[in-house]
């Protein structure tokens, strides 16, 4: 599930740079004298540097081989995110009114512009008169994101935007091809190398790309069912009579997942006796909610969960970043032949395969 109009939460990024030198000087209001910190947002807020802030003034001198994205924090709260690119970055504004900005380098300037435009866009959406206007704004929003990416693909902010937004839309093969078009310095960004690694893992469980000789096969999962008995995906795939198994990742708290249930129930009722089975992996945390959803939705197929939300080894193996996500497996050879069959698509695909 994704929030359409959420302000971008920037992950750590970096770029290769020789003799990297960043100076961050600040003169801000709304922060008490004491210590101010640079922390790594994606590593549990680990502190990487600190300095004294007095009357709103502070200076960081950073000398490291790679630029990074850090969170600037006081003792009490996060003030803003800042790219520590080579150069002199100026921090100014009022922390009490959340108006602090970082200026002076390309990625920070682009990030500021994006957030300014996004704030105005959110205001327009909140003030929309009706559903028709809101639908038009949603289309405009996606065009706005695409333009922000297009305008900034030569800096680390734009590349990060591309990975964060297009990672949900593009196949692993498409993502790999696009990232390999970047210049060598941009390809050296850790965010890019991480994305390429993720795409390589994703390719193992995505349907075969056109022209590719690589055959993606399912990765076995074994987790407890509602009775606490371990059930493996392999045992379901290899059950005599099963021809196709839909590996479905879902959760009771996920609205879109619940929206898919009528289609899955119809598919199961229509095609189960013809060789169709579902192996559902829930990302719930509470057994009561999980079991109640199964009972309420009358989900007669195989359901398993370790009740740890996305902290599930299967999420890592199948690179599941949002739900619902599903994979259709051909039991004859274990090949994954389709992914994310939503709504009527699952019925249409099974009609082709099992009629």
Angular region, 334: left φ>0, alpha ψ -120 to 50, beta rest: left
* Residues 155-168 pLDDT 10s: 888 888 899 888 77
* Residues 204-259 pLDDT 10s: 888 987 767 788 999 999 999 999 999 999 999 999 999 999 999 999 999 999 99
Query: What is the predicted pLDDT for the residue at 351?
Result: 96
**Burial track 306-317 (b if 16+ CB lie within 10 A, e otherwise):** bbeeeebebbee
Superfamily of domain 222-354: Glutaredoxin (3.40.30.10)
Whole-prediction pTM value?
A: 0.70
Query: What is the predicted pLDDT for the residue at 3?
Result: 39
What CATH topology corresponds to 22-104?
Immunoglobulin-like (2.60.40)
Domain boundaries, the chain: 22-104, 119-203, 222-354
* Residues 259-299 pLDDT 10s: 999 999 999 999 999 999 999 999 999 999 999 999 999 99
Query: What is the predicted pLDDT for the residue at 132?
Result: 92
């Amino acid at each position: 599930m994704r929030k359409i109009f959420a302000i971008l939460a920037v992950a750590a990024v970096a770029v290769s740079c020789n003799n990297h030198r960043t100076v961050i000087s600040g003169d801000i209001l709304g922060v008490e004298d004491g210590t101010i910190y640079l922390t790594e947002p994606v590593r549990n807020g680990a502190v990487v540097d600190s300095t004294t802030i007095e009357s709103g003034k502070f200076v960081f001198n950073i000398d490291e081989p790679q630029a990074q994205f850090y969170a600037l924090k006081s003792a009490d709260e996060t003030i803003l995110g800042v790219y520590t690119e080579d150069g002199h970055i100026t921090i100014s504004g009022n922390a009490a009114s959340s108006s602090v900005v970082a200026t002076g380098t390309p990625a920070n300037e682009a990030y500021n512009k994006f957030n300014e435009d996004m704030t105005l866009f959110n205001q327009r959406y909140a003030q929309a008169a009706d559903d028709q206007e809101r639908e038009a704004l949603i289309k405009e929003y996606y065009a706005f994101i695409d333009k922000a990416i297009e305008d900034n693909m030569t800096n680390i902010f734009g590349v990060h935007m591309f990975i964060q937004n297009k990672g949900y839309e593009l196949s692993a093969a498409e993502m790999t091809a696009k990232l390999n078009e970047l210049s060598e310095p941009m390809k050296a960004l850790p965010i890019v190398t991480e994305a390429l690694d993720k795409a390589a893992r994703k390719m193992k469980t995505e349907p075969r790309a056109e022209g590719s000789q690589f055959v993606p096969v399912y990765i076995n999962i074994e987790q407890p069912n509602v009775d606490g008995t371990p059930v493996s995906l392999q045992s379901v795939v290899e059950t005599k009579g099963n021809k196709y198994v839909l590996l479905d990742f879902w959760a009771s708290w996920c609205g879109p997942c619940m929206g898919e249930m009528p289609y899955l129930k119809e598919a199961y009722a229509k095609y189960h006796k013809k060789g169709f089975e579902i192996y559902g992996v829930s990302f719930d945390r509470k057994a009561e909610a999980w079991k109640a959803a199964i009972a309420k939705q009358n989900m007669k197929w195989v359901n398993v969960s370790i009740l740890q939300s996305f902290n599930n080894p299967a999420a890592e193996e199948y690179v599941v970043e949002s739900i619902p996500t599903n994979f259709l497996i051909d039991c004859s050879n274990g090949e994954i032949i389709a992914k994310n069959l939503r709504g009527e698509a699952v019925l249409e695909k099974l009609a082709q395969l099992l009629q």
